[in-house]
Structure 1
Amino acid sequence: MTCAPQPPTFRLLDAYVGWEETGPPGDTGLAGFDDPAGVRLAYAGASPEGPTRRALLPWFPDRRLAPGCRPGAWYLAVPGGPRLLRRDACGWTPVWRGDRDPGLARHPVSVAARGHRIALVERDRVLVWRREGEQLAGVVAIRGARRAALAPGDEVLVSREDGTALWRFGSDGRPRGVLRTGIPGEIVGLLAGPGRTIWVLADDGSLRIFRGGPHRPFRPATLEELAAAVPPSGLVSAGEDGFCLKENGADGATTRCYTWRGRPRPAGPPEPEAYVTAGEYVTGLIDSGLSRCRWHRVRVDADVPPGTAVGVRIVVSEDHRYAESDWQTAPPGTTDFLVDQPPGRFLTLRLRLSGDGATTPVVRRIRLDFPRATSADLLPPAFRQDPAADDFTERFLSLFDASLEELDRVIERHPALLDPAGVPDRALPWLAGLLGLSFEAGWDARTRRALLAAAPELYRRRGTPWALKEAVRVVFGVTPVLDELAGDRRWAQVRRLASGSGPGLGAVRLFGRSSSRFRVGGSALGGAPLRAFGDPDGDPLAAHAHRFRVLLPVGSADERALGRLVERQAPAHTAGSVRLGGAGFVVGARSTVGVDTAFVPLPPPVLGGALRLNRDGVLRPGPKGARAGVSAGTISAVGVHTQLS
């Protein structure tokens, strides 16, 4: 504080410093003590800490459902009915009907799909089909089968009811071994992701995600890691009455709901996340380290949606003994209040959260200030002789001290607002406006931060080739080739021989005076352009002066966005152009290696394709074998061993 006689001391209660928990979080009705997002009401059910089963449905659907390979395709196992339904543009239809029904499936309990393969799980076996159910690939004999997943390498993973091991089989039914996961609880979800990674959802009183593989141990994982590795499906809800799928169509996102027999049903209101209605926890003794400490202030950083409440109670004591009547209760809705307690070394805090079951308050941090330090300490002793008046003066001046402290915090944090790496993404355009920068709509936050960090050096060297290339590298991630056309002014130059003899500049003219521009008495009327400015003798030097070209490999940047960037970064007296390389180069024209050239073997000749006889096609190998193009370290002759394409 600006007017405080000494710097404030405080104790934080949050996920980084700790919440001084006195018991297991599940017993308090609260969750998130280790979550930087804050403490909240726990979920009702088997997973108080989250994620909930509904949040995991896009990756671990109900075992009767499996997403297909095509967008919007799903498979539904129906015990006692058509046995297996497939959803396509015409709705849910049986995979096998009439003469095509092999009659093998009896009572399926779950289904899995990957690509064109389908696995139908029954109690004592797993049927594996190819070509989306048209060809039976094999039968896996295994008792107590519960779930299956189709993995790369034509492998089938099966979990049983009596453990958490994964049984590995080929699609033909041959066993490939057993994978011991060591996961506690029961497997309620199984997914084979990319990179031969296996994701398992286990229930041991709470839902937990694990990932591993055949040669990797299984370890706990988060929902964020799963979402980054595997794209979610369109399943949004599943219950006793049926399930709902969300799809993106021409008219936007739509949600369609079905029963467990594939019949349409009306979409009801979305089920809210079920939280417990109340939760409370009490901290241990928070030690100030000062005997008879005068605790000053309590500040609660929380989000309190409508229908929820946050209650805080505190008590100060010199030891662990205090009475129930000693608790001080903060007024309802107050998140910042003074401590009105007698001096004591320890403080105990009781936090209570309540809600309506649909939403929850979130407490991110609680700050405890001590000892009491206000601007009243700067007053003469005569103003502090009466204890009652002194207490009122301290509480009254604390109102102004709090306002001044907020101003001090804003001033202290002002330098951080100019740090590109520290400001939020939404503040980057504001920071760019201070530096005179403008962003393209398609640039992500990482590109914007890199451009802001490089802005001082770019401004210092603005107008130089280095600055232009650096700006292109920061935005597009590739260093361009800068071709200054003025360096190629060799219109009237013939290379001088090494001996020093031979023609040079001034001895040979490659263009005529009468054709460069109109000259009275020297040019034919209509045969030369009319230009009424400049010296005609300087045309060879001025044609490409102050012009440059930015060259990039093909596909490395958007040509229009690159052109706008070059236009903003180029000096005002220059004219720049942009060129993205092609697939080859032309002999006799200027080419840049790495932009529009590539030394690769020749493609196989195929009649009817891009093949021209006598130009760049060979119908059969010659006596010395097929030509392979340019080979490093081998003597090659253009037209004999090599071909330019």
Structure 2
Amino acid sequence: MTCTPHPATFRLLDAYVGWDEPAGGEPGVDGIVGFDDPAGLRLAHQGADPEGPIRDQLLPWFPDPRLAPGCGPCGWYLLVPGERRLLRRDGCGGAFTPVWPPDRDPGPLREPVSVAARGHRLAMVESDRVLVWRREGEQLAGVIRAERPRWAALGPGDDILVACQGGTDLRRYDSTGGFRGVLRTGAPGEVIGLRTGPERTVWLLTDDGGRLGIHRGGHGRPFRPATVDELAAALPPSALTSADEDGFCLGEKGPEGPETRCFTWQGLPRDPAPPATDTYLTSGSYLTTLIDSGISRCRWHRVRVDAEVPAGTAAAVEIVVSEDGRYEESDWQASAAGATDFLVDQPPGRFLRLRLRLSGDGGSTPVVRRIRLDFPRVTSADLLPPAFREDPAADDFTERFLSLFDATLDQLDRVIERYPSLLDPAGVPDQALPWLAGLLGLSFEAGWDARTRRALLAAAPELYRRRGTPWALREAVRIVFGVTPVVDELATDRRWAWLGAAQRGDGPAQGLGAVRLFGRSASRFRVGGTAMGSAPLRAFGTPDSDPFTAHAHRFRLLLPAGSADEAALRRLVERQAPAHTVGSVRTGGAGFVVGSRSTVGVDTAFVPLPAPVLGGAHPVRLNRDGVLRPGPRGLRRGVGVGVVSAVGIQTQVS
């Protein structure tokens, strides 16, 4: 929308387009990682694995071997190797107490190594065996003999996995110590953490020469590397927040909100330790290769940095422009401290080079997601008369001054360009869905999730276009409740004024319009045409209008039992049905529904009621279902499967 004499372009530096790292052996990266990570560039971790996870990040899932989460959000087991004791903490805010009271103490443990728990089962790993306990340590279930065991994990059922020192293969046992086989993982390094998850999934934390790796697999499934995000999605994290040589800390819910409680390795309370400051490197730099604009004597315009800079960190950008790629160290232009958007104040040139410097306090790092380079310089000063641009110094000031307003207008242009995305139900946030529904005249039930609301918004144009039709009603119910109903139009249930040839199937039916040939003469009173003793007297209406008043403009919605909330379904039907119709909702009950909750086979018979026999050992009481003799149409046959009836999902025997 902004008027400019020439179209401007830009060059992005990010993980999708590329960061233009120097080629060959030219040094350009020092202490910065994340060039292939969409999250952005950041300072490297200290240690042998600068880009991988660190041990502190994985503590909530792989705690210290002396700790094991127990029952409840605050239940923990603490192994005290020096004192050879096992402690337990049951509730939030409580202290660690011995698992075994003095009268039931099994004696000092024998060189304990680690502890594991799952539900009410407990496993303690010693130097040459694994003790398995039930009922939270009250009953010893078995002893597993193994060579140099280090880690144990309790799986579902009676399965126990044991990892030994120096490898990544797992041995499977039952609680009594019975050997079930070896689970070969193929992961490099040594196991330093072992967990089991849903669907018998096994998670490993390995250490391969200082590089930590996460692997997932299971019995019958090969192990493969996994990420921290996959681990967090599969297993809920524990309350463990930190662990060091002096003790550990747990994040819990207190009476006034979240709070941190810290303990020593003997289970005694202690003050929280200061946060670690040696997680990341404290400085790093990155130098791009020569970025070619493709324009001789190009006037580079603007540099914009999309970054997240926490307190105690900094991100600085320097640029240099040249026509032939040669420059001096004094030619670099540095951005102001904390600036993420600045103009290029360099002579015209075809090539630009950028240098990024990151710094931090060791405990956190800045993250640079994207850098945008705008060129060539196009401002509203180009629209001014030449008299305003005669003085080079004044011209430079005018361009820089007007670029401030151009930047604001450019942001407005971007907002206007992105306006159609606000009407995309798949792209707006969940909080904006009711607002978008208000524009379309839709109303949401409180219980509908975001997925259902997005599907309704996406289908709204077609639902409005075909509103009032059976298709639109079925589609709305399918989107909201996930089941396709049957729309039964009652007007089709009665064949008013049709000749009998259509029922015999020997020819096309012949309609007679509004002429009444047969119908309710047996149930409605007609003078001279109805037996007085066989029909009730009704004092309203005329029988001639029955074809229009009894079933016309009425429909019924049929759904399986338990498939939808009937009250919410009725409200939806009222909103979607045509105004001149009356709809009703019927869901399946607990009766015998063929094809839904029953099986029809060779041993299933549909037969009429037995003929009543008066007298005898078991006399029959006459009731409404008693038949003394056949009617005028002959003996009743009942339901004959495959003869004159079709048994399916809509056939109900009650």
- Shorter-chain TM range is 0.7 to 0.9
Q: Which amino acid is 1:13 matched to?
A: L
SS in 1 for 2:298: coil
Q: What residue number does 2:463 align with? A: 458
Equivalent residues in 2 for 1:180-259 (5 A)? 180-204=184-208, 205-245=210-250, 257-259=262-264
Q: What residue number does 2:17 align with? A: 17
Change over 3 Å in CA distance of 1:7–1:219 after alignment to 2: farther
The answer on whether the counterparts of 1:125 and 1:141 sit within 8 Å (CA) in structure 2 is yes
Q: What residue number does 1:553 align with? A: 560
Match among 539, 542, 549 for residue 542 of structure 1: 549
Q: What residue number does 1:366 align with? A: 371
Q: In structure 1, how many angstroms separate the alpha carbons of the residues matched to 2:583 and 2:505?
A: 39
Q: In structure 2, how many angstroms separate the alpha carbons of the residues matched to 1:582 and 1:244?
A: 55
Q: What residue number does 2:170 align with? A: 166
Q: In structure 2, how many angstroms separate the alpha carbons of the residues matched to 1:436 and 1:290?
A: 52
Q: In structure 1, how many angstroms separate the alpha carbons of the residues matched to 2:468 and 2:455?
A: 20
SS in 2 for 1:109: strand
Change over 3 Å in CA distance of 1:98–1:315 after alignment to 2: same
The answer on whether the counterparts of 2:73 and 2:239 sit within 8 Å (CA) in structure 1 is no
The answer on whether the counterparts of 1:492 and 1:509 sit within 8 Å (CA) in structure 2 is no
Q: Which amino acid is 2:3 matched to?
A: C
Q: Which amino acid is 1:20 matched to?
A: D
Change over 3 Å in CA distance of 1:318–1:176 after alignment to 2: farther
Shift of 1:142: 2.8
Aligned: 1:303 with 2:308: yes
Q: Which amino acid is 1:6 matched to?
A: H
Q: What residue number does 1:482 align with? A: 487
Instruction: Count residues in correspondence.
Output: 588
Q: Which amino acid is 1:166 matched to?
A: L
Q: What residue number does 1:313 align with? A: 318
The answer on whether the counterparts of 2:496 and 2:519 sit within 8 Å (CA) in structure 1 is no
Deviation string 1:473-509 (CA, Å, 9 cap, x unpaired) is: 1122221222344544589999998499xxx963764
Equivalent residues in 2 for 1:483-562 (5 A)? 483-488=488-493, 498=504, 506=518, 509-513=521-525, 535=542, 538=545, 542-543=549-550, 545-562=552-569
SS in 2 for 1:20: coil
Shift of 1:472: 1.4
Match among 114, 121, 133 for residue 110 of structure 1: 114
Q: In structure 1, how many angstroms separate the alpha carbons of the residues matched to 2:213 and 2:51?
A: 10
Q: What residue number does 2:474 align with? A: 469
Q: What residue number does 1:425 align with? A: 430
Structure-1-length-normalised TM-score: 0.77
Equivalent residues in 2 for 1:564-603 (5 A)? 564-585=571-592, 594=596, 597-599=597-599
Equivalent residues in 2 for 1:586-625 (5 A)? 594=596, 597-599=597-599
Shift of 1:600: 8.3
Aligned: 1:416 with 2:421: yes
Q: Which amino acid is 2:149 matched to?
A: A
Q: Which amino acid is 1:7 matched to?
A: P
Shift of 1:460: 0.3
Q: What residue number does 2:152 align with? A: 148
**83-92 or 3-12, which moves further after superposition?**
83-92
Q: Which amino acid is 1:77 matched to?
A: L
Shift of 1:418: 2.2
Change over 3 Å in CA distance of 1:244–1:403 after alignment to 2: closer
Q: In structure 1, how many angstroms separate the alpha carbons of the residues matched to 2:505 and 2:407?
A: 88
Q: What residue number does 1:518 align with? A: none
Q: In structure 1, how many angstroms separate the alpha carbons of the residues matched to 2:345 and 2:7?
A: 21
Change over 3 Å in CA distance of 1:64–1:547 after alignment to 2: farther
Shift of 1:428: 2.5
Shift of 1:326: 1.0
Q: What residue number does 1:123 align with? A: 127
Change over 3 Å in CA distance of 1:266–1:554 after alignment to 2: farther
Q: In structure 2, how many angstroms separate the alpha carbons of the residues matched to 1:373 and 1:298?
A: 14
Deviation string 1:271-306 (CA, Å, 9 cap, x unpaired) is: 478555544322232232344433221111223445
The answer on whether the counterparts of 1:491 and 1:510 sit within 8 Å (CA) in structure 2 is no
Q: What residue number does 1:294 align with? A: 299
Q: What residue number does 1:335 align with? A: 340
The answer on whether the counterparts of 1:83 and 1:107 sit within 8 Å (CA) in structure 2 is no
Match among 563, 567, 584 for residue 570 of structure 2: 563
The answer on whether the counterparts of 1:82 and 1:94 sit within 8 Å (CA) in structure 2 is no
Q: In structure 1, how many angstroms separate the alpha carbons of the residues matched to 2:169 and 2:304?
A: 50
Q: What residue number does 1:6 align with? A: 6
Q: In structure 2, how many angstroms separate the alpha carbons of the residues matched to 1:271 and 1:423?
A: 38
Q: Which amino acid is 1:571 matched to?
A: P
Q: In structure 2, how many angstroms separate the alpha carbons of the residues matched to 1:272 and 1:482?
A: 66
Q: In structure 1, how many angstroms separate the alpha carbons of the residues matched to 2:459 and 2:389?
A: 56
Deviation string 1:62-93 (CA, Å, 9 cap, x unpaired) is: 22222346665433323254733344469755
Q: In structure 1, how many angstroms separate the alpha carbons of the residues matched to 2:458 and 2:496?
A: 44
**321-330 or 126-135, which moves further after superposition?**
126-135
Shift of 1:464: 1.4
Q: What residue number does 2:86 align with? A: 84
Q: What residue number does 1:65 align with? A: 67
Shift of 1:110: 0.8
Deviation string 1:201-257 (CA, Å, 9 cap, x unpaired) is: 234435432223354443321222122222333434444444444567999877655
Q: In structure 2, how many angstroms separate the alpha carbons of the residues matched to 1:162 and 1:434?
A: 64
Q: What residue number does 1:34 align with? A: 36
SS in 2 for 1:565: helix
Equivalent residues in 2 for 1:35-50 (5 A)? 35-42=37-44, 48-49=50-51
Q: Which amino acid is 1:511 matched to?
A: S
The answer on whether the counterparts of 2:190 and 2:206 sit within 8 Å (CA) in structure 1 is yes
Shift of 1:13: 0.9
Q: Which segments of 5 or more consecutive residues in structure 1 lack a partner in the other structure?
A: 515-521, 586-590, 602-613, 615-629
SS in 1 for 2:187: coil
The answer on whether the counterparts of 2:131 and 2:144 sit within 8 Å (CA) in structure 1 is yes
Equivalent residues in 2 for 1:382-397 (5 A)? 384=389, 386-397=391-402
SS in 2 for 1:482: strand
Q: Which segments of 5 or more consecutive residues in structure 2 lack a partner in the other structure?
A: 507-515, 527-531, 602-617, 619-638
Structure-2-length-normalised TM-score: 0.76
Q: Which amino acid is 2:66 matched to?
A: R
Q: Which amino acid is 1:567 matched to?
A: E
Q: What residue number does 1:607 align with? A: none
Aligned: 1:139 with 2:146: no
Deviation string 1:508-562 (CA, Å, 9 cap, x unpaired) is: 6443449xxxxxxx99xxx98887xx65764685355544343333333333333
Q: Which amino acid is 1:33 matched to?
A: F
Q: In structure 2, how many angstroms separate the alpha carbons of the residues matched to 1:568 and 1:549?
A: 15
Deviation string 1:89-121 (CA, Å, 9 cap, x unpaired) is: 697554444564444842322112234443211
**387-396 or 341-350, which moves further after superposition?**
387-396
The answer on whether the counterparts of 1:296 and 1:338 sit within 8 Å (CA) in structure 2 is yes
Aligned-residue RMSD, C-alpha: 4.4
SS in 1 for 2:112: coil
The answer on whether the counterparts of 1:30 and 1:41 sit within 8 Å (CA) in structure 2 is yes
Q: In structure 2, how many angstroms separate the alpha carbons of the residues matched to 1:163 and 1:431?
A: 57
Deviation string 1:359-387 (CA, Å, 9 cap, x unpaired) is: 54432211012233334445566665554
Q: Which amino acid is 2:111 matched to?
A: H
